[in-house]
Every structure is written in structure tokens, then in C-alpha cells.
């Protein structure tokens, strides 16, 4: 069931649904989330079942206000405080030590937990209405089948799960890729997943340099090697290689789609093609929607031009590398 996030009655109905332990899909500034009350392991189990997601792969808990987040933590590190004071509400998830017996299923059974305060007005209204009903936070991964392309429109969620799921429509997601994730649970912060917020901005807010993930880093949502994948096989290619491959392909009947920035298809080409924006924020905003559109046309392969090796492109590059690894 699709309801408008502009209607207060829809927000109230969705909040009632969450309070009752049922699932609701809702918009954030990054992607649409599939939510359940984080304090109910039974409710959270519904997320794992519907997505087909392993139950030990942790979720991110969304809170209505930054002041609600420390209730889920056994300790609120100084670096987490600096980051959230500066960047919340917004597209940032911090991982902190989890309070005992709190949101166990949402954390995948791990002793850390990922927390985020989104900035999308519909998400904030829903989270606030749910809090009034006794819901301290909403666990919500992306509202899609596990490992597939994340949804950035309400229609994408309906395509994934049908009409049986309550979906709050808040329009197209502004950012378009998932939040940056910073692990604050150890001695030094570690950037586990890039997002719209670049490393430089995160380090400026944290006041310290960010480390790189290693085998000791906690598991986090969306950080598997293979993720965000279309049904077609996606291959990421440098511009020169992509250009050469297209010239060699000629008039082949290969079922191929192309998503590129600097490489253009020759006039009259029968291949499916979409132009990748040259601006990284616009590219992030359009990425998942474009991959879904191309995938819906039924190609066997999607060739994607490798984004420039610049920090501003880290979030887009991360999602494409994971999609290509699937």
C-alpha cells in the first residue's frame, strides 16, 4: 500500500504500524528504508525474512533526534559525539559499543550497533510519531531484496515487494546512495563505507584522521564485497578500455547496456545507453535509479565507465565496485 508522506494521516498510520511490530518502508535522504521497531527482535526478524538477508548482518537504527541515540550505546565515544554534533541530522552512520540486551537482532547479535539520525522531513516526522508511541528507534536497511539495487523512489520499493507492504512516498531521495559509516567503537575511528560525506569532511568533523577497515573492523550494513547488484552482470571499465571494447563490438547483437560519462556511443548505435553525470553528487543521486532502468530493459551485461579517481567520487565508486563484484 502506497501512501503520501505529505499527509499526516499516513504518518500516523505508519507510526501505528511500526508500534504494532509490523514493517513500513519510508524515505530518507539517502535511500528508502525497510523499517521495524528496533527494540523488538520479533519485528526486526520480519526485515531479515522479507529481504532474504542473513540475520547476522547488522542493520542501522534510525532515531528521531540525536539525543535519542546514546540510549542504544553502552558508551558514547568522544569522536562519535563530535561527528554527530556536526553532521546529524544527515547521511552519516556511527558505529558504537551496544548497550547490553538492547536491539540485539537489529545489531545482528554483535556487540556494536550502527546509529543514524536522518534529515529527510518525512523520515523525521515518522520517527517522531513512532517515538510518541513508545518506539525508541527504527531499524531499517534499504528496502530491496538482499544484495540488489537500493531503492531511491517509492515505486522501486513497490516493484520489489508488491502492494502488501506499507510504503510512505516521500519523493525521490536527494542523496541517492547510502550513508557514510564510521566505526567509533575502537581506539581510532575507521571509515567503513564512503557516502556523500567525503573523508575530508568527516575527518574535519571528527578532529582526527580516519583509518581503513581491516579484519578486526565490526560488520556493518552494506559493506559486503558484493552488493547493490542488478540482475545483469555489471562490469566496471576505465574510459579507454570501454571505448576500445565498444569499437570492437561493432554491430554485435550482444544484449548490452552502457552507462558512461566521457565515452559516447556512435550515432545510430542500437545499444542501450545512459549518460552518467559529470558531477559526483548528481551521479550519486541518479545511480541506483539509472541501474534499475537499464536492468529493466533486460540486458545480459551492463558496462559502466569507471568514475574519476577523485575523493568526491568515492561513494559512487564504492557502490559500483560492489555491484560489479556480485
Q: 226-241 burial, b for 16+ CB within 10 Å, e for fewer?
A: ebbbbebebebbeeee
Q: How many CB atoms lie within 10 A of CB 145?
A: 13
Average of per-residue pLDDT values in the chain: 93
Please write the tens of the pLDDT for every residue from 110-119. 999 999 999 9
Banded model confidence at residue 318, pLDDT cuts 50, 70, 90: very high
- CA gap 71, 109 in Å, rounded: 17
Please write the tens of the pLDDT for every residue from 252-305. 657 899 999 998 887 767 788 999 999 999 999 999 999 999 999 999 999 999
- Positive/negative CA dihedral, 123, 126, 132, 136: negative
- Which of 169, 162, 219, 195 has the alpha carbon at shortest distance from 28? 169
How large a percentage of the chain has pLDDT more than 90? Answer: 87
Q: Which residues contact 261 (CB under 8 A, 6 or more apart)?
A: 239, 275, 276, 277, 278, 283, 305, 307
Amino acid at each position: 500500500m502506497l501512501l503520501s508522506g505529505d499527509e499526516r494521516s499516513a504518518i500516523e498510520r505508519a507510526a501505528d504500524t511500526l508500534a504494532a511490530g509490523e514493517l513500513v518502508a519510508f524515505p530518507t535522504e539517502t535511500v528508502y528504508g525497510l523499517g521495524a521497531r528496533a527494540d523488538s527482535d520479533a519485528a526486526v526478524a520480519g526485515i531479515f525474512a522479507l529481504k532474504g538477508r542473513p540475520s547476522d548482518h547488522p542493520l542501522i537504527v534510525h532515531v528521531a533526534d540525536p539525543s535519542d541515540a546514546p540510549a542504544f550505546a553502552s558508551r558514547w565515544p568522544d569522536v562519535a559525539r563530535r561527528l554527530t554534533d556536526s553532521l546529524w541530522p544527515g547521511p552519516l552512520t556511527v558505529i558504537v559499543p551496544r548497550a547490553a540486551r538492547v536491539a540485539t537482532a537489529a545489531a545482528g547479535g554483535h556487540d556494536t550497533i550502527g546509529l543514524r539520525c536522518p534529515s529527510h522531513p518525512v523520515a523525521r516526522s515518522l520517527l517522531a510519531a513512532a517515538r510518541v508511541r513508545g518506539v525508541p528507534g527504527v531499524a531499517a536497511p534499504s528496502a530491496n531484496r538482499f544484495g540488489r539495487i537500493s531503492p531511491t523512489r517509492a515505486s522501486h520499493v513497490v516493484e520489489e515487494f508488491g502492494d502488501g507492504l506499507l510504503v510512505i512516498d516521500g519523493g525521490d531521495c536527494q542523496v541517492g546512495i547510502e550513508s557514510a559509516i564510521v566505526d567509533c567503537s575502537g581506539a581510532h575511528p575507521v571509515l567503513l563505507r564512503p557516502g556523500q560525506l567525503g573523508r575530508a569532511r568527516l575527518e574535519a568533523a571528527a578532529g582526527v584522521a580516519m583509518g581503513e577497515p581491516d579484519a578486526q573492523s565490526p560488520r556493518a550494513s552494506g559493506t559486503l564485497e558484493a552488493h547493490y547488484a542488478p540482475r545483469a552482470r555489471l562490469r566496471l571499465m576505465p574510459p579507454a578500455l570501454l571505448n576500445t571494447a565498444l569499437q570492437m563490438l561493432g554491430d554485435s547483437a550482444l544484449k548490452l547496456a552502457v552507462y558512461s560519462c566521457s565515452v559516447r556511443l556512435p550515432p545510430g548505435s542500437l545499444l542501450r545507453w545512459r549518460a552518467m553525470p559529470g558531477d559526483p553528487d548528481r551521479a550519486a543521486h541518479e545511480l541506483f535509479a539509472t541501474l534499475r532502468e537499464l536492468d529493466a530493459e533486460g540486458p545480459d551485461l551492463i558496462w559502466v565507465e569507471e568514475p574519476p579517481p577523485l575523493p568526491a567520487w568515492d561513494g559512487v565508486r564504492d557502490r559500483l565496485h560492489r555491484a560489479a563484484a556480485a
